[in-house]
Amino acid sequence: MKFVELNHILEDGMRAYPGMPNPKIGAWMDHAATRPRYDYKAEFYLGQVEMVGNVGTYIDSPFHRFADREDLSQLPLEKVAGLPGLVLDGVPAADRAITLDCAETDLHGRAVLVRTGWDVRWGTDAYWEPGPFLSAASLDLLIRAGAALVGVDFWNVDDTTDPARPAHTRLLDAGILVVEHLCNLSALPRTGFRFYAVPLRIVKGASFPVRAFAEVEG
């Protein structure tokens, strides 16, 4: 058994979702400043983080889209931990839409991870260019098959030029959680792994960074 990291690290000043403030990650009190508090017998770093929830690799709860649906504090562990995983290679069409092809595979209860390689652009302006998104046919497939979660290695399951946000709307309404900005999916087999993307239990939490990873058999 081995573990594979599938998340981007968080650091001070990194770029958040376009239009949102970048995170501030630092010390409330650093090691030197805390020494007097402990009569110079010990020292600690007391960190402070100020950020929006849409930073790095994050999960969307139904509350992200619907005011009367489950927030992060209400997600059962069974929906975010130990999910049987499946990697599907997504090839964007000319209009950037990805239509998934997995008719022979049972998606029920699975974490379906869409691999495009877009994550290699992370840390550059090119990452935020108009990117891939899930087609209506892909949404039909995921919902009809009863997937538990869908994760992507690009920055939005939706076409960001469409203000209706049909992918978020349909997936979250169906109870299918969304994880965006995954990375390193090239290190995973197609099947034979379990997926984890566990957020903090935050009341009124809509989206929040996760340490997404896979537990690979053998």
Whether 45 and 77 map to the same domain: the answer is no
Residues 31 and 101 in one domain: no
Residue 104's pLDDT is what? 64
**What is the residue range of 174's domain?**
2-9+53-216
Query: How many alpha carbons fall within 13 Å on the CB side of residue 66?
Result: 16
Shared domain check, 144 and 206: yes
Clarify whether residues 163 and 210 are in a common domain.
yes
Q: What is the pLDDT at residue 115?
A: 98
Q: What is the pLDDT of residues 119-134, one digit of tens each?
A: 999 999 999 999 999 9
Question: Average pLDDT, whole number, for the chain?
Answer: 96
Query: SS3 sequence, the chain?
Result: CEEEECCCCCCCCCCCCCCCCCCEEEEEECHHHHHHHHCCCCCCCEEEEECCCCCCCEEECHHHCCCCCCCHHHCCHHHCCCEEEEEEECCCCCCCEECCCCCCCCCCCCEEEEECCHHHHCCCHHHHCCCCEECHHHHHHHHHHCCCEEEECCCCCCCCCCCCCHHHHHHHHCCCEEEECCCCHHHCCCCCEEEECCCCCCCCCCEEECCCEEEECC
Token reading at 57:
């690799």
Residue-wise pLDDT tens digits, 10-22: 999 999 999 999 9
With cut-offs at 50, 70 and 90, classify the pLDDT of residue 105: confident
Give the model confidence (pLDDT) of 154-207 as tens digits: 999 999 999 999 999 999 999 999 999 999 999 999 999 999 999 999 999 999
Cβ–Cβ under 8 Å, residues 59 and 80: yes
Model pTM? 0.96
- pLDDT tens digits, residue range 22-61? 999 999 999 999 999 999 999 999 999 999 999 999 999 9
Whether the CB-CB separation of 79 and 148 falls below 8 Å is answered with yes
Q: Are residues 115 and 148 in the same domain?
A: yes
Whether 107 and 181 map to the same domain: the answer is yes
Query: Does 43 share its domain with 108?
Result: no
